[in-house]
Amino acid sequence: MEKHDFFRTDLLVEHEEMVKHRTEQEKKTLKESEGILFEEKRTGRVIITSVKINAEGEERIGKKAGTYLTLTVPTLFPTDQDGMEEMTEVMISKLSEMTSEIANFEKSKVLLIGLGNREVTPDAVGPLTMDRLKELVPHYYSDDGSRLFVYAPGVTIQTGLETADFVIAMTQQIEPDILIVVDALAARDSSRLCKTIQITDTGIHPGSGVGNSRKEISKETLGVPVIAIGIPTVVDGPVLIADAINTLFSYIGSKIEEESHPSSRLSVSPWLRSDNKDADPTKLIPIFGDWASWPHEERIQLFEEVLSNHDLNTFISPKEIDSWVYQYADLLSKALKAWMEKK
């Protein structure tokens, strides 16, 4: 994992969150002219969120130009074969789109790298995906050498070498036409935990989340197109707690609404908590006090401060994390295999 979290510590997240809380009407007014193209659509059960930033947008919001894709099945569960298959299909088509401009594609050399520590279950999704892809190598092997290269180098604390330096060394040796990295992520929102695939062509910064030197893995630093695929498998304790409190406030808020407008019973879904965003927070104040009216981010910050030396200030994962991680390793390896074959 090495907490690079391209979606997490950077401005895009806040931008995106901001976008999320806008009404449909408002979303449509985010025009390309501003340098940011936001799009959300649904294919079967999969919600596909795409944010494209061009040079103008990069300058405006300070977030690197490129494409940021999020595939989510809000109702996914650990043994949900159908949901996993729908995500696989969408992922294959999105990967193909994002790599369509690579010249001489069918003969290109591909380097796949699974980041993370295979001995820490929620961090093992990258290495386990590579385990399932190793068996493809012989199919792409000829007298000229291989067209497919697969590595799961482990993390710096196991190998001694910074992950970015490993990737640089391999890229120089292999000279691939494209580099694809798979990694586990920390979820920014507990409702996305284990239900989302994030794909970007802007590269990643292994170690960024933990204050390590931020050597970038990107087209700019390697001279090779980079696709980063991330699965949020852990969530910060403070984020999870603040999310639960949000859900509580929404729930109580809608109960209060129901009483005053009994005809409009809202169903509260955890995923679509913004549904209820118009509930009047002032009605919650008698029960929950002033902080019910604070922005969500401020409650997260409060918990981060309070829990800073506390056990709860840790990354947390669901009890079924073993099952989730195996499923995503299956999903990602299937999608990457199909993408290789389509090339």
Q: How many residues does the chain have?
A: 343
Spatial CB neighbours of 159, under 8 Å, sequence gap ≥ 6 = 153, 166
> Using the rule CB under 8 A, which residue among 50, 221, 301, 323 binds its own copies?
323
Which residues in the 95-124 window bind its own copies by CB under 8 A? Answer: 119-123
Q: Does residue 122 contact residue 317 with C-beta atoms inside 8 Å? A: yes
Which residues in the 40-99 window bind its own copies by CB under 8 A? Answer: none
Spatial CB neighbours of 227, under 8 Å, sequence gap ≥ 6 = 95, 98, 99, 178, 179, 180, 181, 199, 200, 201
Token pair 């090339």 is found at: 343
Q: State how far Cα 291 lies from the chain centre.
A: 29
- Binding of its own copies at residue 151 (CB under 8 A)? yes
In the complex, minimum distance from the CB of residue 137 to its own copies, in angstroms, rounded to a whole number? 5
In the complex, minimum distance from the CB of residue 148 to its own copies, in angstroms, rounded to a whole number? 5
Q: Does residue 177 contact residue 110 with C-beta atoms inside 8 Å? A: yes
**Interface map 269-288 toward its own copies (x if CB under 8 A):** -x-------------xxxxx
> Using the rule CB under 8 A, which residue among 52, 60, 134, 343 binds its own copies?
134
d(CA 243, CA 237): 10
- Binding of its own copies at residue 293 (CB under 8 A)? no
> Using the rule CB under 8 A, which residue among 30, 302, 338, 340 binds its own copies?
302
> Using the rule CB under 8 A, which residue among 5, 16, 243, 257 binds its own copies?
243
> Using the rule CB under 8 A, which residue among 46, 321, 335, 336 binds its own copies?
321
Cα torsion 254, 260, 266, 267 to 10°: value is 60
- Binding of its own copies at residue 328 (CB under 8 A)? no
d(CA 291, CA 89): 43
In the complex, minimum distance from the CB of residue 328 to its own copies, in angstroms, rounded to a whole number? 16
Task: Specify the residue, 11 or 244, whose C-beta has the smaller distance to its own copies.
Answer: 244
- Binding of its own copies at residue 163 (CB under 8 A)? no
Task: Specify the residue, 170 or 222, whose C-beta has the smaller distance to its own copies.
Answer: 170
User: How many residues at the interface with its own copies, by CB under 8 A?
Assistant: 77
**Residue 209 DSSP symbol:** G
- Binding of its own copies at residue 303 (CB under 8 A)? yes
> Using the rule CB under 8 A, which residue among 68, 149, 324, 328 binds its own copies?
149
Which residues in the 185-204 window bind its own copies by CB under 8 A? Answer: 190-191, 193
d(CA 258, CA 279): 11
Instruction: Compute φ and ψ for 239, nearest 5 degrees.
Output: -65, -45
Task: Specify the residue, 224 or 234, whose C-beta has the smaller distance to its own copies.
Answer: 234
